[in-house]
A and B are shown apart, each in its own frame.
Chain A
């Protein structure tokens, strides 16, 4: 069965020689699928390191079924070499479209060229790569710099009544793309108003316990802190415990904005302990499937597609909470 299908795919590919390579870009393709009418998508996930990632995986699997797309799913378990091997095996299996969330930004040139040589379009999700942009069709995911800017906008909104805002910043894992870009975007956007000042910044490694430990020290070395920007919900949740232990009221004495909008974060937002959350949406499955179909049909897609995301203030939390999936 498999060999018959791959033979058919090979025959189709051979018939449309040359035209296919450009079809994803200029939309002039004649690609008609792999013979059984069902699109095959090979997807390589980074691993299952967090609740966010689990929700991401679930979204992709469910929306593939819903869209009638045949999904070949591979989990790289946190290793880039597994991911490269998975992409190679997708090429050999002659899937219609390859998609993956690159673990690291570098090391992708060779395998992306192989995919291009085999006329298989590649869509990146969640994170980008440092490779020639012609080697992939599109990048679907959050814009981390933009998330930092959105956090700054939220601060301007929730701190309207304050004369001086002394912000403590909990950064993500040092060197990771979200940590670098969320710091950059925030610093750029907050600078426009002089009452905002980032008084102290340190990594909380994206975890609750580190977020709590770092905030404990911040509160003692910088008693003037009256705002907290945590680059994910978990660090913010840990910091809230430290703030309460120091006898201050999170959300009132110290205004808090976090990024992600996981269920626990939204619960704290609804309870008034967080003032605002910038959503970083893992549920990009439906958008991805739509893109796969477009690419397959030879239509043009944008080089960079931002996932649909919202900003949540306290008033929005109660309504959004019951439908929160992750």
Chain B
């Protein structure tokens, strides 16, 4: 199973500044292992963020993104106590969702 994400959000007025760290190998499909075999493609292809169940951020990503990627974005109309959940899905069908409650 995939390792948890690290989500941080700071509220400034009604804008939440979100930063998320994901644990993922993000293999490009072009790297070879020690015995010379190609390491198969393995990358996150979509990221979704929801605020209280409503989608506020969507991204399609490729293998060009680094290993253990970091994403930062701002969400308008957020307030303390709101639930922010982030989900990623990769090309092998692995999924991971983590949720935080926005602080005061």
Does chain A bind chain B?
Answer: no
- By a beta-carbon cutoff of 8 Å, the part of chain B in contact with chain A is none
Interface residues of A (CB under 8 A from B): none
